[in-house]
């Protein structure tokens, strides 16, 4: 007989090993799924783990997926460490794309390239404004931030549809639900000609360093983490729970809004009903697989991006459903949660009675 026995203290080794074990289990289950679907499992794994990194161009495409995941997950890591459960980063991502898109649509053929800065700032402010709604309702009316942030995702999605089907629809777009194509000056500068990787990638890596300093080397970051780990101790020390709430949500909204601006003025180049790409929800998995640590988030974002690209390749080359991407993401999350049990418990053999 096997039983779970509480550890005297959480295992640091298992905390580090748990994501790797979860990934290994996900791969094994993935192989079984490929076999059940009648597909070559080796080729299937190649689509997910080899093709996305086999060339410079593939890595550039990988960065397009990883950049928004890194940015959003950094903000979510601050929230979750502060015990603020922002589940609506997808809505803040859309709000940032809308704000950035509005600024981009004001540009003309003679507009300076400097407009990229206001576009990104508009995205940041849009995401912060959407997150501020969550903070206000939680602060003033004690509304549950999980439900509020999640419901606001649907509000943002419907607002996007209302605009691209109505007031912002391109009059020369053959009645398709889309805005005008943004002027060339508004496009996010690319790192290498011919590849889609843009300045969002170095911005995300700079943000990783900035968030590491903020979370682990500043007094305010210490306040947020104490408030999340021990709310009673934080109150005793005089730390403001209201300040922690607003700081965490505004930071998270800013990062999601920035990701939305980079997406709208980068790969998309216009607004359509398909702006929501699920990055806000996938970033939750990225944050937890990365152990809510900025450096860990980079590696988990790359892994999640491989799932995105692998799912697209498996659909086009192997005839598998696109939903396989979501299956792999869900498997990774649930296996991680299961493996995390071993951080606080150890498996022991018990003697039968």
3-state secondary structure the chain: CEEEEECCCCCHHHHHHHHHHHHHHHHHHHHHHHHHCCCCHHHHHHHHHCHHHCCHHHHHHHHHHHHHHHHHHHHHHHHHHCCCCCCCHHHHHHHHHHHHHHHHHCCCCCCCHHHHHHHHHHHHHHHHHHHHHHHHHHHHHCCCHHHHHHHHHHHHHHHHHHHHHCCCCCCCCCCCCCCCCCCHHHCCCECCCCCCCECHHHHHHHHHHHHHHHHHHCHHHHHHHHHHHCHHHHHHCCCCHHHHHHHHHHHHHHHHHHHHHHHHHHHHCCCCCCCCCCHHHHHHHHHHHCCCCHHHHHHHHHHHHHHHHHHHHHHHHHCCCCCHHHHHHHHHHHHHHHHCHHHHEEEEECCCC
Looking at residue 135, its pLDDT comes to 96
- Which has the minimum average pLDDT: 75-89, 118-132, 231-245? 231-245
- Contact of 39 with 320, CB cutoff 8 Å: yes
- More confident: 353 or 248: 248
Res 353 pLDDT > 60: no
Q: Mean pLDDT across the stretch 139-168?
A: 96
User: What count of Cα atoms within 13 Å lies in the side-chain half-sphere of residue 35?
Assistant: 6
For the chain, the average pLDDT equals 93
pLDDT over threshold 70, residue 206: yes
Q: Could you tell me the two tokens for 263?
A: 């997406």
Under the phi-then-psi rule, with left for phi > 0, alpha for psi from -120 to 50, and beta for the rest, what region is 108? beta
How much is the average pLDDT of 146-159?
97
What pLDDT shows up at residue 352? Answer: 58
Q: Is 239 exposed, middle or buried (0-12, 13-18, 19+ CB in 10 A)?
A: middle
Residues ≥6 apart with Cβ < 8 Å to 75? 86, 89, 251, 252, 253, 254, 255, 256
- Mean pLDDT: which of 43-52, 125-134, 339-348 is highest? 125-134
| pLDDT of 170 | 95
Can you give the residue ranges of every domain in the chain? Answer: 1-39+320-353, 66-215+242-317
Structure tokens at 341: 């049990």
Q: Would you state the structure tokens that stand for residue 240, as one six-digit string?
A: 């403001």
CB 310 within 8 A of CB 49: yes
pLDDT of residue 241: 82
Q: Say whether pLDDT at 41 is over 90.
A: yes
Q: Higher pLDDT residue, 241 or 255? A: 255
The distance of Cα 283 from the centroid of its chain, to the nearest Å, equals 3
Residue 166 pLDDT more than 80?
A: yes
pLDDT in tens, 273-332: 999 989 999 999 999 999 999 999 999 999 999 999 999 999 999 998 888 888 999 999
Least confident of 158-172, 177-191, 288-302, 311-325: 311-325
- pLDDT per residue as tens digits for the range 225-250: 887 777 777 777 777 888 889 999 99
Q: Report the share of the chain in percent with pLDDT over 70.
A: 99
pLDDT at 121: 98
- The percent of residues in the chain predicted with pLDDT above 90, rounded, is 81
Overall average pLDDT of the 7-26 stretch: 91
In the predicted structure, residue 134 carries a pLDDT above the cut 70: yes
Buried b (16+ CB within 10 A) or exposed e, 294-309: bebbbbbbbbbbbbbb
Using CB atoms within 10 Å of the CB of residue 102, give its burial: 0 to 12 exposed, 13 to 18 middle, 19+ buried.
Answer: middle
- CA dist 269 and 181 (Å) reads 6
């Amino acid at each position: 007989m096997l039983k779970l026995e509480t550890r005297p203290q959480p295992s640091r080794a298992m905390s580090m090993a748990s994501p790797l074990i979860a990934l290994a289990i996900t791969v094994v289950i993935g192989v079984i799924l490929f076999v059940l679907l009648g597909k070559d499992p080796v080729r299937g794994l190649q689509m997910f783990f080899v093709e996305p990194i086999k060339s410079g161009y593939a890595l550039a495409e990988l960065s397009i997926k990883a950049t928004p995941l890194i940015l959003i997950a950094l903000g979510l890591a601050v929230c979750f460490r502060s015990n603020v459960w922002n589940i609506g980063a997808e809505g803040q991502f859309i709000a940032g794309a809308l704000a950035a898109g509005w600024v981009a649509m004001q540009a003309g053929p003679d507009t300076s390239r400097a407009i990229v800065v206001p576009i990104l700032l508009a995205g940041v402010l849009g995401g912060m404004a959407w997150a501020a709604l969550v903070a206000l309702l939680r602060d003033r009316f004690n509304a549950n931030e999980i439900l509020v942030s999640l419901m606001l995702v649907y509000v943002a999605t419907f607002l996007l549809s209302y605009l691209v089907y109505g007031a912002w629809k391109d009059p020369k777009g053959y009645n398709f639900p889309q805005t005008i194509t943004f002027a060339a000056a508004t496009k996010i500068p690319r790192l290498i000609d011919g590849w889609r990787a843009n300045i969002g990638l170095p911005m995300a890596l700079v943000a990783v360093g900035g968030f590491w300093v903020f979370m682990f080397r500043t007094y305010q970051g210490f306040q947020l983490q104490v408030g999340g780990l021990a709310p009673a101790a934080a109150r005793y020390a005089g730390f403001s729970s209201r300040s922690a709430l607003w700081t965490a949500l505004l930071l998270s909204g800013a990062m999601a809004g920035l990701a939305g601006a980079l997406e709208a003025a980068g790969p998309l180049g216009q607004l359509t009903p398909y702006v929501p790409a699920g990055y806000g929800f996938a970033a939750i998995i990225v944050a937890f697989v990365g152990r809510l640590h900025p450096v860990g988030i980079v590696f988990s974002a790359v892994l999640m991006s491989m799932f995105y690209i692998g799912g697209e390749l498996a659909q086009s080359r192997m005839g598998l459903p696109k939903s396989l991407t979501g299956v792999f993401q869900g498997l990774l999350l649930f296996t991680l949660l299961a493996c995390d049990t071993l951080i606080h418990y150890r498996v022991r053999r018990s003697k039968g009675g």
